[in-house]
Amino acid sequence: MSDHDELELDEDASTVPIELARRTFLRPYVLTKGRTSSSLGVFALHSPILAIVTPEQLGRNATPEDRKIIEMCQTPTSVAEVSARMSMPVGVLRVLVGDLEEARMVTVREVENRADHRDVRLLERLLEGIRAL
């Protein structure tokens, strides 16, 4: 079986050997149950995610992805960083994090748009530095 073969999920997933489960690839729509967005909207890439619960507090129904997100976000971690560390598309992560936030297991803080607070002098100095190169 190659690394990219799909695993057909059956009623009793506990019969799947751990080594086989590590080598399988699940399609993103399987993880999100076909959803393409969270009911909470879209989180910015730089928005920090913070777990409110510990991995030990998760129930038996928590998915491996939920557990990994909770483990990584014990300290605030950006959406982009979690996506990269999990090798997961950002859109899929946003759906999963939205589910965790609805379940009150994580919180996602929206960061204000700093484009409204531009420091013109800083931008001018940056431009001068680039021109000097």
Our separate counts of H helices and E strands in the chain read: 6, 3
CATH code at 71?
1.10.10.10
d(CA 102, CA 94): 12
**What percent helix, strand, coil does the chain show, rounded to 5?**
45, 5, 45
Shared domain for 89 and 46, answered yes or no, is: yes
Q: Are 42 and 110 in contact (CB under 8 A)?
A: no
Shared domain for 25 and 41, answered yes or no, is: no
Q: Are 90 and 79 in contact (CB under 8 A)?
A: yes
Shared domain for 66 and 123, answered yes or no, is: yes
Amino acid code (one letter) for 121: R
Q: What is the pLDDT at residue 1? A: 43
Shared domain for 69 and 26, answered yes or no, is: no
**How many separate domains does the chain show?**
2
Shared domain for 9 and 56, answered yes or no, is: no
Shared domain for 18 and 41, answered yes or no, is: no
What residues are paired with 108 via a beta bridge?
49
The larger pLDDT score, comparing residue 76 to residue 38, is at 76
Shared domain for 62 and 89, answered yes or no, is: yes
Range of the domain at 16: 1-31
Q: How many CB atoms lie within 10 A of CB 125?
A: 11
Shared domain for 45 and 81, answered yes or no, is: yes
Q: How many CB atoms lie within 10 A of CB 18?
A: 7
Contacts of 44 (CB under 8 A, 6+ apart): 79, 110, 111
User: Does the reported pTM lie above 0.75?
Assistant: no
pLDDT tens-place string over residues 94-110: 888 888 998 899 989 88
Shared domain for 45 and 7, answered yes or no, is: no
Shared domain for 62 and 113, answered yes or no, is: yes
Q: Are 56 and 36 in contact (CB under 8 A)?
A: no
Q: Considering the chain, what percentage of its residues have pLDDT values greater than 90?
A: 19
